[in-house]
């Protein structure tokens, strides 16, 4: 018997680490222990795949595999050893990094996703039951042509302005479509259309975690500003003060993925949903940071090229479809996000090295 698993790719990244911790808190997954016990037939495990190792405190919850999503021999081995019931496909090169190496970004973001969609489709057919495929997409799939348009289309809906200007945004938009294709139309001309995968996707705004700092994204100025303040080091923001995009605290991002994964399929009228929680200009983000770290030194020296990318992203998202179809509701508005999640945990993380005053 193969052990039943939920597979998480890109598990060592920001979202991956937070997701594992949340999933491990539920009763639904067994821990693999020291590997000497055989896997239980009725148990479900978390299987992770990443090039990098997980921090030990997270690794103990999972069956950890170090490797690439592009390694087809490795994927074949995993399928032979495990019954993959669900995939959280988080591995990706983010928007800034992808501009420096667009070919590599295409390989990882598109070819990597295609390989996993194939795997999920085959597994679904084999089991006669759909493998759920949860895919985080991004505000980078939007591309507003200029600031005036950005101003007038404040809350952008899923199907509006799908004209990405970055390799990452193009990759995400195309993979949303591939996911929908595999889920609803794969082998549509076959005499007997087989069971295929169940693709579900959310478009995230900029994510902010108390425990990890993102790398290679264009919304990174928010979290970078906050973590620099907590460490007591000066920060120079790479976008203008007036630049506004939506953000979300990491626990809400994880909640969105899990809530969407568990939503009854018949309730889902779309393959892809916008989700958001609060929208801030870079100056307002700085004000929030200063409320908690009043001595923080935050200046603005825009990098015009990175700035240009963020200028094409919407200032807010309309997530009413997610609210209506699967009850999406963030737990953290901006005040709660800073006061109850970000600041206390960040202070603890950099304890003894804070620029601010205790609340």
**Residues at the contact surface with ligand SER, assessed by CB under 6 A:** 94-95, 138-140, 168, 204, 206, 217-219
Nearer to ligand SER (CB atom), residue 84 or residue 94: 94
Nearer to ligand SER (CB atom), residue 15 or residue 47: 15
User: What's the min distance (Å) between Cβ of 140 and ligand SER?
Assistant: 5
Nearer to ligand SER (CB atom), residue 32 or residue 206: 206
Q: Which two tokens stand for residue 304?
A: 């015009």
Nearest Cα to Cα of residue 4 among 26, 28, 24:
28
Q: Sheet holding 3-9: strands in order across?
A: 63-66, 44-50, 3-9, 82-89, 132-138, 198-204, 272-274
User: What's the min distance (Å) between Cβ of 33 and ligand SER?
Assistant: 35
User: What's the min distance (Å) between Cβ of 97 and ligand SER?
Assistant: 8
Pairing of strands 244-249, 278-281: antiparallel
Nearest Cα to Cα of residue 15 among 137, 113, 105:
137
Q: Which two tokens stand for residue 89?
A: 């496909």
Residue nearest to ligand SER (CB): 217
User: Mind giving me the DSSP string for 247-290?
Assistant: EEEHHHHHHHHHHHHHS-GGG---SEEE---EEEEHHHHHHHHH
113 CB contacts (<8 Å, ≥6 apart)?
A: 89, 135, 171, 175, 178, 179
User: What's the min distance (Å) between Cβ of 94 and ligand SER?
Assistant: 4
Nearer to ligand SER (CB atom), residue 5 or residue 139: 139
Residue entry with tokens 């069971």: 195
Nearer to ligand SER (CB atom), residue 138 or residue 279: 138
User: What's the min distance (Å) between Cβ of 92 and ligand SER?
Assistant: 9
Nearest Cα to Cα of residue 47 among 260, 210, 69:
69
Give the C-alpha separation, 135 to 24, whole Å.
20
Nearer to ligand SER (CB atom), residue 96 or residue 124: 96
User: What's the min distance (Å) between Cβ of 98 and ligand SER?
Assistant: 8
Pairing of strands 82-89, 244-249: unpaired
User: What's the min distance (Å) between Cβ of 334 and ligand SER?
Assistant: 17
User: What's the min distance (Å) between Cβ of 247 and ligand SER?
Assistant: 9
Give the C-alpha separation, 337 to 355, whole Å.
19
What sections of 203-349 are H helices per DSSP?
Answer: 221-231, 250-262, 282-292, 304-311, 320-326, 334-336, 343-349
User: What's the min distance (Å) between Cβ of 214 and ligand SER?
Assistant: 6
Torsion over CA: 165, 168, 174, 180 (sign): negative
Nearer to ligand SER (CB atom), residue 47 or residue 245: 245
Nearer to ligand SER (CB atom), residue 137 or residue 183: 137
User: What's the min distance (Å) between Cβ of 172 and ligand SER?
Assistant: 8
Residue entry with tokens 């495929």: 133
Nearer to ligand SER (CB atom), residue 168 or residue 293: 168
Let me know: does 209 contact 276? Beta carbons within 8 Å.
Answer: no
Nearer to ligand SER (CB atom), residue 48 or residue 166: 166
Q: Which two tokens stand for residue 260?
A: 């969407």
């Amino acid at each position: 018997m193969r052990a039943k698993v939920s597979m998480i790719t890109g598990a060592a990244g920001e979202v991956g680490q937070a997701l594992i911790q949340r999933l491990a808190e539920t009763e639904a997954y067994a821990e693999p222990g020291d590997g000497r016990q055989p896997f239980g037939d009725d148990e479900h495990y978390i299987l992770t795949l990443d090039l990098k190792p997980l921090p030990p405190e997270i690794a103990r919850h999972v069956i950890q595999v170090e490797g690439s999503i592009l390694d087809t021999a490795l994927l074949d081995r995993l399928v032979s050893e495990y019954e993959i019931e669900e995939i959280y496909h988080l591995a990706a090169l983010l928007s800034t990094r992808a501009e420096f190496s667009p070919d590599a970004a295409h390989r990882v973001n598109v070819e990597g996703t295609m390989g996993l969609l194939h795997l999920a489709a085959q597994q679904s057919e084999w089991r006669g039951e759909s493998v759920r495929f949860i895919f985080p997409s991004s505000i980078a799939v939007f591309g507003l042509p200029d600031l005036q348009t950005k101003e007038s289309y404040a809350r952008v809906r899923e199907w509006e302005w799908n004209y990405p200007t970055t390799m990452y945004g193009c990759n995400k938009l195309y993979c949303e479509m591939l996911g929908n294709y595999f889920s609803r139309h794969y082998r549509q001309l076959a005499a007997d259309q087989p069971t295929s995968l169940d693709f579900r996707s959310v478009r995230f705004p900029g994510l902010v975690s108390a425990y990890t700092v993102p790398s290679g994204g264009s919304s990174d100025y928010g979290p970078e500003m906050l973590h620099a303040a907590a460490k007591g080091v000066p920060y120079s923001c790479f976008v203008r003060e007036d630049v506004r995009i939506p953000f979300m605290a990491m626990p809400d991002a994880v909640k969105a993925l899990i809530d969407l994964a568990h939503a009854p399929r018949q309730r889902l009228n779309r393959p892809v949903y916008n989700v958001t929680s609060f929208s801030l200009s870079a100056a307002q983000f700085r004000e929030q940071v200063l409320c908690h770290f009043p001595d923080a030194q935050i200046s603005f020296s825009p990098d015009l090229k990175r700035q240009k990318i963020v200028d094409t992203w919407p200032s807010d998202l309309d997530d009413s479809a997610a609210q209506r179809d699967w009850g999406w509701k963030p737990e953290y508005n901006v005040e709660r996000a800073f006061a109850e999640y970000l600041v206390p945990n960040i202070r603890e993380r950099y304890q003894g090295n804070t620029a601010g005053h205790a609340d």
